Homo-oligomer: A and B are copies of this chain.
Amino acid sequence: MSSGAAGPIAQTDFVGGLITYVTCGDSRSQHGAAVHLYAINQSMKNRVFYDADGELLVVPWEGELTFVTEFGRLAVAPGEIGLIPRGVKFRVDIAGPGARGYVCENYGAPFRLPELGPIGSNGLANPRDLLAPVAAFEDVEAETEIVAKFGGHLWSARVAHSPLDVVAWHGNYYPFKYDLARFNAINTVSFDHVDPSIFTVLTSVSDTKGVANVDFVIFPPRWTVADHTFRPPYFHRNVMSEFMGLVKGAYDAKKEGFLPGGASLHNAMSSHGPDEPSYQKAVDAKLAPQYMDDTLAFMFETRYIFEPTAYALNRAELDKEYDGVWAGFRKAKVPGKK
């Protein structure tokens, strides 16, 4: 986990390839989260990692990762997510030339499926689609580095064998994967734009009911059918901070300038909404059922302010003209005024 002095280089594995972009809260007081991006080109060799500060929610957008864990193996491809609980040791193998993706390191309450409320017994992500690994182990007598994130720092120790030698396990604290294509998207079938909370896959609750420590929310392929409605996300500001990423396709509120692997940040109470072309297209559209295909955007959304790292602020890729997309809006006519 680099402190951000330089980007990933020649031979980079998962631990070496993680770069922190934004953080909020504090792992020592167990609230908030960090968002890291990774770009790697080799498997972890003779080293394993665990994070004592939080769990890791991994969202790949390029290249499949195989998490070899104390509990067994999980292969996680783009379109899927993997979750490694706090303190669980693992290494990451890749099969192809490289892999890139997003990681949310959650310092707060473990992610779980949201309460469904009136949605009832089934819907959104169904429990049966969260896949735990079959127990598996390796019996390797080779010097192995254990890298631990503990108290915000990385620590290293060496042991004479692989610690991924756990033969069996039981309980309810284990890594899992989930295929986002199995998400049962629910939304209005009449009118109005519904809060994006309706697309919550996993939530880390805070001690305050109603405001999450972090929500993981997706915008998957789905039917959009609302009548009498401006269909894209409306202009708004709110108490939550939104870190947005893209796994594939395009996002309906920002047709240009947002690519897989990219990220945008709208912090608490900062106004935002669709760009002018998206707005104009939505206003002009004749409303009929439309299947939004080939899209998979997501948000890590938190009650706290996400603060960018110096690395993130100094990247050449930083879009310094981001708010230009809202230029060009014309004032609505005030009735009765010329």
Residue positions of A touching B, CB distance < 8 A: 24-26, 28-32, 50, 52, 86-87, 109, 114-124, 128, 139, 148, 150-151, 161, 167, 170-171, 183-192, 194-198, 200, 207-208, 220-225, 237-239, 267-270, 289, 303-305, 307, 331, 334, 337
CB distance from A108 to the nearest CB of B (A): 9
Which residues from chain B contact A87 at a C-beta distance below 8 Å? 237-239, 268-269
A117 and chain B: residue at smallest CB distance: B117
Given A119-B117, A289-B289, A304-B28, check contact A186 B198 (CB 8 Å). Answer: yes
A25 and chain B: residue at smallest CB distance: B29
How far apart sit A29 and B221, CA to CA, in the bound complex (Å)? 35
CB distance from A153 to the nearest CB of B (A): 11
Which residues from chain B contact A207 at a C-beta distance below 8 Å? 207-208
B331 touches A161 (CB 8 A): yes
B189 touches A223 (CB 8 A): yes
How far apart sit A134 and B309, CA to CA, in the bound complex (Å)? 43
A128 and chain B: residue at smallest CB distance: B170
Q: Is the interface of A mostly helix, strand, loop or mixed?
A: loop
How far apart sit A170 and B127, CA to CA, in the bound complex (Å)? 10
Other-chain residue from B50, B123, B221 in contact with A194 (beta carbon distance below 8 A) = B123
Other-chain residue from B117, B208, B222, B238 in contact with A116 (beta carbon distance below 8 A) = B117
Q: Lowest 10 A-B CB distances belong to which pairs?
A: A117-B117, A120-B195, A289-B289, A87-B269, A52-B269, A207-B207, A223-B225, A189-B223, A185-B190, A120-B197
CB distance from A261 to the nearest CB of B (A): 25
Given A194-B123, A289-B223, check contact A114 B109 (CB 8 Å). Answer: no
CB distance from A213 to the nearest CB of B (A): 10
Which residues from chain B contact A267 at a C-beta distance below 8 Å? 52, 150
How far apart sit A192 and B185, CA to CA, in the bound complex (Å)? 10
How far apart sit A52 and B32, CA to CA, in the bound complex (Å)? 18
Which residues from chain B contact A109 at a C-beta distance below 8 Å? 208
Which residues from chain B contact A150 at a C-beta distance below 8 Å? 267-270, 305
How far apart sit A269 and B85, CA to CA, in the bound complex (Å)? 11
A118 touches B200 (CB 8 A): yes
A109 and chain B: residue at smallest CB distance: B208
Which residues from chain B contact A268 at a C-beta distance below 8 Å? 52, 87, 150
Which residues from chain B contact A269 at a C-beta distance below 8 Å? 50, 52, 86-87, 148, 150
Which residues from chain B contact A25 at a C-beta distance below 8 Å? 28-29
A188 touches B123 (CB 8 A): yes
Other-chain residue from B29, B124, B221, B224 in contact with A31 (beta carbon distance below 8 A) = B29
Which residues from chain B contact A148 at a C-beta distance below 8 Å? 269
Q: A29-B32, A120-B197, A122-B194 are in contact. List 4 more A-B contacts (CB 8 A).
A: A25-B29, A123-B188, A139-B334, A139-B337
CB distance from A298 to the nearest CB of B (A): 15
Other-chain residue from B119, B151, B161, B225 in contact with A118 (beta carbon distance below 8 A) = B119
